[in-house]
């Protein structure tokens, strides 16, 4: 794939992910200002950590991707592009969960040594 086409694909993925974060974020937070509320609620219900909940959700999408790569079909009929995008979004959510786990009272956020 040529550089220009790759850059266009990446830009479209970022745009689609932003749209997903906004729409699904509103759906999953149930009105809470805490973007991670759904993970925390599910974790409390299941007696596990929010990061473990996120890992389970990610694994489901990864298994779907592996099935697609190995068999050429997505059993649910959902386009594989959506699963890949969801995995990328879950990685950001995992980063946020891990940041909170390390410092629950954080007043600033850093990523790879730089303030966000």
Quote the CA–CA distance of 78 and 1 in Å, as a whole number: 25
Taking the C-alpha atoms of residue 97 and residue 42, their distance in angstroms, rounded to an integer, is: 13
Q: Which of 57, 36, 38 is nearest to 100 (CA)?
A: 36
Q: What pTM, to 2 d.p., does this model score?
A: 0.85
Please list, in sequence order, all residues whose beta carbon lies within 8 angstroms of the beta carbon of residue 62, skipping any fewer than 6 positions away.
87
pLDDT in tens, 78-111: 788 988 999 999 999 999 999 998 887 777 777 7
Percent of residues, the chain, with pLDDT higher than 70: 98
Number of separate domains in the chain: 1
| Structural element, H or E, at residue 93 | helix 80-102
Domain that holds residue 8: 3-115
Q: How many CB atoms lie within 10 A of CB 32?
A: 12
pLDDT, tens digit, 9 for 90 and up, residues 6-32: 999 999 999 999 988 888 877 777 778
């Amino acid at each position: 794939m040529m550089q220009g086409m790759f850059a266009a694909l990446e830009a479209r993925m970022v745009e689609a992910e932003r749209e997903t974060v906004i729409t699904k974020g509103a759906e999953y937070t149930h009105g809470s200002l805490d973007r991670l509320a759904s993970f925390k609620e599910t974790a409390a219900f299941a007696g596990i950590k929010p990061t473990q909940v996120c890992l389970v959700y990610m694994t489901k999408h990864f298994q779907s991707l592996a099935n697609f790569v190995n068999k050429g079909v997505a059993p649910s009929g959902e386009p594989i592009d959506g699963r890949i995008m969801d995995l990328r979004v879950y990685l950001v959510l995992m980063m946020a969960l891990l940041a909170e786990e390390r410092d629950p009272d954080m007043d600033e956020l850093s990523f790879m040594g730089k303030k966000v």
